[in-house]
Amino acid sequence: MDSDHRTGGAGGAGGGRAAGARDRDEEGRARNARPRDGLGRPLPYGAAGVARQPEGVVREPEESVAEAQALLDAGRPFHAHEVFEDAWKSGPESERALWRGLAQLAVGLTHAARGNTTGGARLLRRGAGALEEWAADGGHARPYGMDLDALARWARGLAQDVERTGTAVDARESAPRLR
C-alpha cells in the first residue's frame, strides 16, 4: 500500500492522521474515507468529491432498479454497482446471481469509462453471461421490468466497441436502459 493512501498525500497532509493510520468506519473496520469522483476513483483527502452511496441499504427490488437507473443516467455507474451490490447481499438467494450480474455490468461500464478497456470488456461480458445464465436457469427474462436479453446485448456490444476503439467511453452516453 502506498504512503499516499495511508497518510493522505505527499508531505503527510492527511487532515491530522498519523503516518500509517488507517481509515475506519463506526464498527472499526478498515474503510477508505478518501473522497471519490463520479466514477468512484479516489481523490486526495480534502478534495471535493461526489457523495458516496450508503452501503448496506435494503431496498425493494423495484426501488433498486430505479435508483440504479438514475445513477447510470447521471454517469455514475460505480455508484449504481453499489446499489446492485446491496440488492445482491440482502435479497433472496435465488436472485443473487441476477443482482451480481447487474453489478458486473455497472463495474464493466465504470472501467470502460475510466479507460480500462480490457477490464471493462471482460466485466461487461461476465455480467452479460451471468444474466443469460440466470434467465436460462429458471429465472425470468424480464425480472422487475428489466429486459435481460437486451441488457446482455448492450453489454456485449459495448465490450466489442471498447476493444475495437481502445478508448474510454462516456458513462452517461453509454449507460444502458434497465427497463
* DSSP assignment of 66-97: HHHHHHHHTT-HHHHHHHHHHHHHHS-GGGHH
In a domain, 19, yes or no: no
In a domain, 137, yes or no: yes
Q: Per-residue pLDDT tens for 49-59?
A: 888 777 888 99
Domain span at 99: 61-174
CA atoms within 13 A on the CB side of 160: 7
Q: Which three cell numbers stand for residue 21?
A: 493510520
CB 125 within 8 A of CB 156: yes
Q: Per-residue pLDDT tens for 61-96?
A: 999 999 999 999 999 999 999 999 999 999 999 999
Domain count, the chain: 1
In a domain, 43, yes or no: no
- Burial (CB < 10 A; 0-12, 13-18, 19+), residue 53, is buried
Residue 138's pLDDT is what? 81
In a domain, 50, yes or no: no
In a domain, 2, yes or no: no
In a domain, 110, yes or no: yes
CATH number at residue 114: 1.10.3450
DSSP 8-state code for residue 166: -
In a domain, 74, yes or no: yes
